[in-house]
């Protein structure tokens, strides 16, 4: 468990314990005063009475308060494993431009390659290879944003050849490196506007994925916002023959908003600074019905002091719901801000909690 003095809001922790939410393992432990033991949030032990729970930011803090570890969920083993995985993740980020083998990373963690692969994926939701790919792409974006040459940025990020990054662009980067650096000039963006359960919704996409999904008061206002965010791109109404299947995508999202259908897993074309994209990628791993604080987002991307910057990155998100910035609350559990209004944020959270409770 990464040491920290900051706990999630108490009602958030109680809800995580009630759900036995593994996503909160490593963020805090709770102790039961009647048994004298402390546990992970996901512990399968019989629920304790709410008034008997105490919360600690780390296993060492719980030990200092003279509680002992639960023999069922073994929180100290989980904490040690989390610490090792975080250390390996930081190593991957620092050496993203190098060749990192599964064998060398597992040796660093002190585990066998197969066990390390399983634990790392359980901790971060992706394999070590995919984690390094994302870190390398973030490094490439940062280099491109600094204004250097495209070829120099590609080689500096460790790709080895331009063909590798251009081949990956359609799967991950979205716009190609040159277009990304130039603000999307030369790209064609298709759009469609529909009345959704939360008001007018405009969705737009390049041929690589959704780059814009926003709520507004009118179609004209949303089109003005689209033009402001993509001033150098060619924008056109969606046509089934030429563009992405926006009609189907926006209908799937509206069914999710209004009828409780599963959130559609659509390709995304994220555009932003390296820091912003790290925040948005972190948010993509927050489960439906779960919430995090801005401080937890900052800690989750390895920059615990950048709380305000993390909040700003959430506010800069241009892809509503699909990049779930509505799942971020203030550290005191308050609703916090939302680009598309507090009422929409509350409606989204209430709907997600309802679906999670019913399932």
Q: In this structure, are residues 19 and 40 in contact, taking their beta carbons and an 8 Å threshold?
A: no
**Is residue 9 over pLDDT 90?**
no
**Is residue 125 over pLDDT 50?**
yes
Q: Does domain 188-259 have CATH number 3.40.190.10?
A: no
**Is residue 247 over pLDDT 60?**
yes
Q: What is the mean pLDDT of the chain?
A: 80
Residue 148: per-residue pLDDT = 53
Tokens in use for 41? 């949030």
What are residue 56's phi and psi, to 5 degrees?
-135, 145
Residue 4: per-residue pLDDT = 41
| 262 burial via Cβ count (<10 Å: 0-12, 13-18, 19+) | exposed
Residue 193 falls in the annotated catalytic set: no
Residue 34: per-residue pLDDT = 94
- CB burial readout 72-103, b (16+ within 10 A) else e: ebebbebbebbebbbebbeebbeebbeebeee
Nearest to 23 by CA among 60, 78, 87, 89: 78
Catalytic residue among 70, 73, 193, 325: 325
Domain 95-182 identical in fold to domain 274-358: yes
Catalytic residue among 39, 43, 70, 314: 39
Residue 173: per-residue pLDDT = 39
**If you average pLDDT over residues 182-188, what whole number do you get?**
68
Residue 325 falls in the annotated catalytic set: yes
Torsion of CA 166, 168, 170, 174, to 10 degrees: -90
3-state secondary structure of 142: helix
Q: In this structure, are residues 243 and 231 in contact, taking their beta carbons and an 8 Å threshold?
A: no
Q: Does domain 95-182 have CATH number 3.40.50.2300?
A: no
**Is residue 184 over pLDDT 50?**
yes
How many Å separate Cα 130 from the centre of its chain? Answer: 14
Four-way CATH pick for 10-77: 3.40.50.150, 3.40.10.10, 3.40.50.880, 1.10.287.70:
3.40.10.10
Residue 209: per-residue pLDDT = 84
337 Cβ neighbours under 8 A, 6+ residues apart: 311, 315
Stated pTM of the model: 0.51
Alpha helix ranges (H) inside the chain: 10-19, 59-64, 75-94, 102-109, 113-124, 128-145, 150-156, 162-168, 177-181, 219-229, 246-259, 274-283, 294-300, 307-316, 342-358
354 Cβ neighbours under 8 A, 6+ residues apart: none
Per-residue pLDDT tens for 310-337?
A: 999 999 999 999 999 999 998 888 888 8
Name the least confident of 57-66, 154-163, 270-279, 314-323. Answer: 154-163
**If you average pLDDT over residues 226-244, what whole number do you get?**
76
Q: Quickly name the fold that domain 274-358 has.
A: Arc Repressor Mutant, subunit A (1.10.10)
Per-residue pLDDT tens for 281-314?
A: 888 888 888 899 999 999 888 888 889 999 999 9
The rounded percent of the chain whose pLDDT value lies above 90 is 30
Domain chopping of the chain, boundaries: 10-77, 95-182, 188-259, 274-358
Give the pLDDT band of residue 142 (cuts 50, 70, 90). Answer: low
Per-residue pLDDT tens for 34-89?
A: 999 999 998 999 989 999 999 998 888 999 999 999 999 988 876 666 677 878 88
What is the bridge-based pairing of β-strands 68-69 and 37-39? parallel
Give the pLDDT band of residue 3 (cuts 50, 70, 90). Answer: very low
Tokens in use for 138? 């973030």
**Is residue 14 over pLDDT 70?**
yes
**Is residue 174 over pLDDT 60?**
no
Residue 139: per-residue pLDDT = 65
**Is residue 163 over pLDDT 50?**
no
């Amino acid at each position: 468990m990464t040491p920290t003095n900051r706990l999630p809001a108490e009602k958030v922790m109680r809800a995580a314990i009630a759900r036995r939410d593994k996503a909160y393992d490593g963020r805090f432990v709770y102790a039961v005063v009647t048994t004298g033991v402390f546990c992970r949030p996901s512990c399968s032990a019989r629920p304790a009475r709410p008034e008997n729970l105490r919360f600690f930011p780390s296993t060492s803090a719980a030990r200092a308060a003279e509680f002992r570890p639960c023999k069922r969920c073994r929180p100290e083993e989980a904490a040690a494993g989390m610490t090792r995985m975080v250390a390996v993740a930081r190593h991957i980020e620092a050496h993203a431009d190098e060749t990192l083998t599964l064998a060398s990373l597992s040796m660093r963690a002190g585990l066998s390659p197969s066990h390390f692969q399983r634990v790392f994926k359980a901790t971060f939701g992706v394999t070590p290879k995919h984690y390094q790919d994302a870190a390398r792409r973030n490094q490439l974006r940062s280099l491109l944003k600094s204004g250097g040459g495209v070829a120099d940025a590609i080689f500096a990020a460790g790709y080895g050849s331009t063909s590798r990054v251009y081949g990956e662009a359609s799967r991950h980067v979205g716009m190609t490196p040159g277009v990304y650096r130039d603000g999307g000039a030369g790209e064609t963006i298709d759009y469609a506007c529909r009345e959704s359960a939360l008001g007018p919704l405009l969705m737009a996409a390049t041929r690589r994925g959704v780059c814009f999904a926003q709520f507004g008061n009118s179609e004209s206002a949303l089109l003005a916002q689209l033009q402001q965010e993509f001033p150098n791109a060619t924008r056109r109404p969606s046509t089934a023959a030429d563009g992405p299947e926006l009609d189907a995508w926006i209908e799937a999202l509206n069914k999710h908003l209004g009828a409780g259908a599963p959130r559609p897993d659509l390709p995304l074309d994220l555009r932003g600074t390296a820091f912003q994209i790290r925040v948005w990628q972190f948010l993509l791993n927050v489960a439906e019905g779960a919430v995090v604080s801005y401080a937890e987002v900052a800690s989750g991307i390895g920059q615990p002091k950048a709380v305000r910057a993390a909040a700003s990155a959430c506010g800069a998100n241009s892809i509503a719901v699909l990049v779930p910035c509505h799942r971020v609350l203030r550290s005191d559990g308050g609703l916090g801000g939302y680009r598309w209004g507090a009422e929409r944020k509350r409606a989204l959270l209430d709907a997600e909690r309802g679906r999670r409770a019913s399932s």
